[in-house]
Structure 1
Amino acid sequence: MKKILILITAMFLFGCNEKIYTVEDFKNNKELLDEYRKKCKNGEIDGDSLNCQNSHKAMIGLSRPTNTGKWTD
C-alpha cells in the first residue's frame, strides 16, 4: 500500500510540472516570450526556473547582431 501511495504522489508531483520551452521556442514565438518575461519579472515564476533562463537567453539572442552585421528581430 505504501508503494502505491508513493507512486501516486510522485506521479502527481512530476505530472504537474510546467512545460519547459527552449531558447529556440521563445525566439520563434514572440507572444510566448513576452508572456514568460512578464511572469518572470513579476515573480509569478521563479527567476531561476529553466523557462525564465531560456526566455532571458532568447531576448539577448534576439537583440544581438548576427554574424552578417545585421540585427536580428
Structure 2
Amino acid sequence: MLVLITAMFLFRSNKKTYTVEDFEDNKEILDKYRKKCENGEIDGDSLNCQNSHKAMIGLSRPTNTGKWTD
C-alpha cells in the first residue's frame, strides 16, 4: 500500500515547478497558470499558484520596470 501511495505522489508531482522569475519572464506561462489556479484546475496552495501570484504582485508594483510588455 505504501508503494502505491508513493508512486501516486511521484507521478502526480512530476509536473514542472516554475519559479517567480520564470513567470515574470514569460507572460504566456503566467497567464496560463493564473487561469488554472483561479478556476480550481490547480490547487491554489500549489507552488506554481503561489509563485505565479507572487509574480503578478511583483510585476504590478509601480517601481517595477517589468520584464515584458503588452
What is the TM-score with the length of structure 1 in the denominator? 0.74
Shift in Å at residue 71 of structure 1? 4.8
Runs of 4+ displaced beyond 2 Å:
9-13, 70-73
Query: Which has the higher Rg, Structure 1 or Structure 2?
Result: 1
2:30 is equivalent to residue 28 of structure 1:
no
Q: Work out the number of aligned pairs and report it.
A: 65
Percent same amino acid among aligned pairs? 66
More relative contact order, 1 or 2 (CA 8 Å, 6+ apart): 2
Which residue of 2 is the match for residue 49 of structure 1? 46
- Structure 1 gap segments, 5+ residues each: none
Deviations 1:3-41 (A, max 9, x none): xx82xx434531332211000000000000000000001
Letter in 1 for 2:10: F
- Structure 2 gap segments, 5+ residues each: none
Letter in 2 for 1:49: S
Partner-residue secondary structure (3-state), 1:59: helix
